[in-house]
Structure 1
Amino acid sequence: MPQLHLIEQPPVPPVQQITPVEVQAMQRAFVNLAEKWDITDDQAAVLMGDISVRTFRRWKAGDLGRAGVDTAARLSNLMGIHKALRLLFKEPVRGYGWIKRPNDVFGGAPALDVMLHGQLTDIMRVRRYLDAMRSPW
């Protein structure tokens, strides 16, 4: 009977943690981005997943507080979407408006509609699409 041998696994890279300072910087950036994207406070709260409209309004007033892991992941992905749009569009206004324009890739729906389904994976879907669009660069 053959003997089993242990196969050594490569070391797992450490999971990069987002610091509270970085989260608060992303919260401030998202408040500004929500304004540039011309989305409502209700829509912004949905994009954040587990925050109330009242909490988002406190963010707008500068009272950022703490954010959980899910909120940090959402913020990070939304910042990635913003970065991709800035790289893809020469004029910032066109990039900001892109999220509300119908898109064949999303079955004719705007990217915002996809993201407003409320799941982190919906935001990630839009980010993956934009990252693929700019990948040759």
Structure 2
Amino acid sequence: MMESDERRALSAMMEQGSLLPIDRKRLSAPGIRTFLAIADQWLLTEDQRRKVLGSPAPSTYRRWRREASNGLSFSLSLDVLARLSNLLGIHAALSQLFTEQRLAVEWMHSPHAAPPFDGQSPLDLMTTGHLDGLMATRRFLAAAQQGLYVLPNAIDVDSTPYTEEEIQIR
């Protein structure tokens, strides 16, 4: 996985829009290696992996994978690096919100009624090929981390809402 300092540097530079060519070259191979590890954890198909990365040609995707695995240096576009930055944020949020990786993977593959998913899974939204799907998923999880949206759990299944008579303000 990408070192935490490199992850923070990538996120900070992407937010500031100050990613120099030398930084792109330095972060591209570790970014792809980290992406591949996360994609393995999330059980992504090769087609889903390519869509998350912006739908590069299969030969381009295989070249990135091969060069990153062999420790070779190459430069990804700012678009692909922005996708990797969002993916790292999603992965970090899932790690904080779920106690087990299995639960995070189930969440990624399950349909959700909450906006922005509207009945589709987060993975479906993230694999539209558009950066917006990754960004929307990352924002949703950031809100969940801050308590702005709480993911339903087992206790919520059988709960009933309070009636007005049960609510007392003193």
Instruction: Report the TM-score, using the length of structure 1 for normalisation.
Output: 0.80
Q: Does 1:109 align with 2:111?
A: no
Alignment of structure 1 residues 1-137 onto 2, 5 Å:
15-17=17-19, 19=23, 20-61=25-66, 62=69, 65-105=74-114, 106-136=117-147
Q: Deviations for 1:27-48, whole angstroms, at most 9, x for unmatched residues?
A: 1010111111111111111111
Cα drift, residue 14 of structure 1: 5.5
C-alpha distance in 1, partners of 2:16/2:43?
37
**Residue 14 to residue 112, structure 1, CA distance change in 2 (3 Å):** closer
**Residue 67 to residue 89, structure 1, CA distance change in 2 (3 Å):** same
Q: CA RMSD in A?
A: 2.2
Q: Deviations for 1:41-79, whole angstroms, at most 9, x for unmatched residues?
A: 111111111412233233333256321000000000001
Structure 1 gaps of 5+ residues are 1-12
**Residue 17 to residue 95, structure 1, CA distance change in 2 (3 Å):** same
SS at match of 2:110: coil
Structure 2 gaps of 5+ residues are 1-14, 148-170
CA contact (8 A) 2:55 2:129 kept: no
Give the aligned length. 125
Residue type matched to 1:103 in 2?
Answer: H
C-alpha distance in 2, partners of 1:100/1:16?
34
C-alpha distance in 2, partners of 1:71/1:93?
27
C-alpha distance in 1, partners of 2:36/2:107?
18
C-alpha distance in 2, partners of 1:74/1:44?
11
C-alpha distance in 2, partners of 1:123/1:47?
8
**Residue 59 to residue 15, structure 1, CA distance change in 2 (3 Å):** closer
